[in-house]
Amino acid sequence: MQLFNISYDKSFLFVLLLVVNNMNRTLRALGLGFAAAISLQLQAQDPELSQFYASPVYTNPALAGSAVCSYGAAGRIALNYRNQWPNLPGTFRSFAASWDQHIPAVGGGLGAMVFHDIAGTGLLSTTSVSGVYSYLLQLDRRQRMFMRFGLQGSLVNKSLDWSKLRFSDQIDPTQGFVNATGEQPPSLTKTYSNFNAGWIMYTQKFYIGFAAHNITEPGWSFFENPDEVHPRRFTVHTGGVIPLSRSRFEQNNFSPNMLFMKQRNFTQMNIGFYANKGPLVTGLWFRQTFGQQKNPDAIIMLVGFRKDRFKFGYSYDFTVSDGRTAIPSSHEISATIDWCVPPGRHPFKPLRCPEF
């Protein structure tokens, strides 16, 4: 699901697109032009991944360097792809690639991430490049409890494809959109900086974390409108790991967890669990949104597989809201490879949080 704080309700766009699909060609063109014009009124759009921990740096900067292997610290590279509501004429697609690793010499973890998001049919695209640092703090002498504090700085570029917009002065009564428009385009790119921060506290069986994104609320308007900014987004996530059985060759765990997000007037909660049996991981969540009225949003189903240092996950979001006939599903895949690194002389305890 995409997180929005907009001056027009997103469901209105869905209704508009459905109505547009049943119009004649000229009216359809006018409707699409109107929908594109409305899309420029968006105040903020933060893509969201259903596999929260398969892209840990994106969920919480404090998770940088938290990967584990058989004797402690590990490095990892994660790739993520999400196709949201592919049945719509203009879907939302998100791509992420990240690296993070515990580095004993800097007392914590380092990471980097590239994120690319395409809204609609390519009308609006966003690319960000970021670097992350997390500091590891030991809270007790027995090394049972740790904290991590993370900071993330990003350079973001948004671009608008003017050629995909349609205006009324382009319409010929018999031939459709064949004329050149007299509308003057704004600046078609916008580049700005953005900053996120996070915190997590954990033991071997429990974790709780907090992240604040868009701390400076950067402006992104193509028209230099000061009201069009990325609002701050706050995330709280927590969970635990309950061992069911453990042997030298196989670990079976049950992991209940919760993730809560708020961005201005938009609030969302994900409640569910992971179940791990040997190399197989399954998961099930319920996603609820809160606004002017409660709205059950989706049921998320996941299946994942791990073999040696490689893991792969697929999740399916089944829409349960009133819009399920128009937007029945979303798909997401992830792939991760990790490797062990020397833990060094600094204390290090692995963070036992889910992998997808």
| Nearest of 201, 114, 94 to residue 150 by alpha carbon | 201
- pLDDT confidence of residue 4: 38
| pLDDT tens for each residue of 13-47 | 333 333 333 333 333 333 333 333 333 344 445 88
As a whole number of angstroms, the distance between CA 158 and CA 35 comes to 19
Strands 233-240 vs 206-213: parallel, antiparallel or unpaired: antiparallel
Place of tokens 């961005």: 263
CB 133 within 8 A of CB 108: yes
| 336 pLDDT above the threshold of 90 | yes
Nearest 5 degrees, angle CA 58-CA 60-CA 61? 85
Sign of the alpha-carbon torsion through 342, 349, 333, 85: negative
Place of tokens 């049972």: 144
In a domain, 311, yes or no: yes
In a domain, 67, yes or no: yes
Place of tokens 């409640």: 271
Share of the chain above pLDDT 90, in %: 42
- pLDDT confidence of residue 103: 87
Query: Residues 141-163: what's their mean pLDDT?
Result: 88
In a domain, 252, yes or no: yes
Query: Residues 103-120: what's their mean pLDDT?
Result: 90
In a domain, 97, yes or no: yes
Query: Residues 254-269: what's their mean pLDDT?
Result: 92
In this prediction, residue 160 has a pLDDT band, given cuts at 50, 70 and 90, of confident
Domain that holds residue 289: 3-340
In a domain, 95, yes or no: yes
Q: Specify the CATH number for the domain of residue 164.
A: 2.40.160.40
In a domain, 290, yes or no: yes
In a domain, 354, yes or no: no
In a domain, 356, yes or no: no
| 349 pLDDT above the threshold of 70 | no
Give the three-class secondary structure for 211.
Answer: strand
CB 325 within 8 A of CB 347: no
Q: What is the pTM (predicted TM-score) of this model?
A: 0.81
Which of 160-169, 188-197, 270-279 is the least confident region? 160-169
| 180 pLDDT above the threshold of 80 | no
How many structural domains comprise the chain? 1
Nearest 5 degrees, angle CA 63-CA 66-CA 67? 125
- pLDDT confidence of residue 344: 60
